[in-house]
Structure 1
């Protein structure tokens, strides 16, 4: 596979598990630590279009300033919400993975398997001890 990119937060267990699954499949992705290097508004728009989701679907509430910023209020436009993500990148839910087979918010972590073009993988043990079984479900 030519290029895999993960928008990664190393402090997030789900993000670490997704990165581990990608590597378990034999790939070394391009890692974008989006808290250090946030995607531009244009990059966010592109990711959203590729995933087929709206800005609100990408927002993370837990562990973010979502509530204190009043982002549940429907008055905020998509452009304003993108501005908030630019100002507070922690608002972007993670991990987002892009491969030639698609782009997806990979929660739970085994969702990344749809984006990997390999045959069935050996079981993978996540950080919490749960085993991920690859059932061979792939896109494309």
Structure 2
């Protein structure tokens, strides 16, 4: 059985609900507390490919930091957005679950069942 990886924030209710759902599915889980161990640019780029998303789609636009860093600027490149998320991981939407090279955001938590 391949591992199920969750990019988890224990303070987030959706992240906790998703982790509980995975545990209930008897998954071999690897928990990545991404606020303590942010992904590298390479890791985040891979995650985006697995998610089938553009960097802007993974940004938490309601975070105060999003406005402070002026990330709503359409002139920013994908690379700049990825670097901003790596430097400030709380800007990354959560939770992200990866299984067999596929990734999905656990919003709602039940969405992760599609890749298990």
Same fold (TM over 0.5): yes
- Higher-helix-fraction structure: 2
> Do 1:64 and 1:90's aligned partners in 2 also have CA atoms closer than 8 Å?
no
State the shift of 1:92 in Å: 0.5
1:97 corresponds to which residue? Answer: 97
CA contact (8 A) 2:14 2:109 kept: yes
Which residue number in structure 2 is paired with residue 128 of structure 1? none
* TM-score normalised by length of structure 1: 0.79
* Structure 1 residue runs of 4 or more that deviate by more than 6 Å after TM superposition: none
**Quick one: higher RCO (CA 8 Å, sep 6+), 1 or 2?**
2
Gaps of 5+ in 2: none
Q: TM-score normalised to the size of structure 2?
A: 0.94
When the two chains are superposed, the root-mean-square deviation of aligned CA atoms in Å is: 1.2
Alignment of 1:47-86 (within 5 A): 47-86=47-86
The answer to whether the 8 A contact 1:58-1:93 is kept is: yes
- Match of 1:44, SS state, is helix
Count of aligned pairs: 116
Unmatched tracts of structure 1, length 5 or more:
117-140
Larger CA Rg, structure 1 vs 2: 1
CA distance in 2, matches of 1:68, 1:46: 26
Q: Which moved more, 1:104-113 or 1:39-48?
A: 104-113
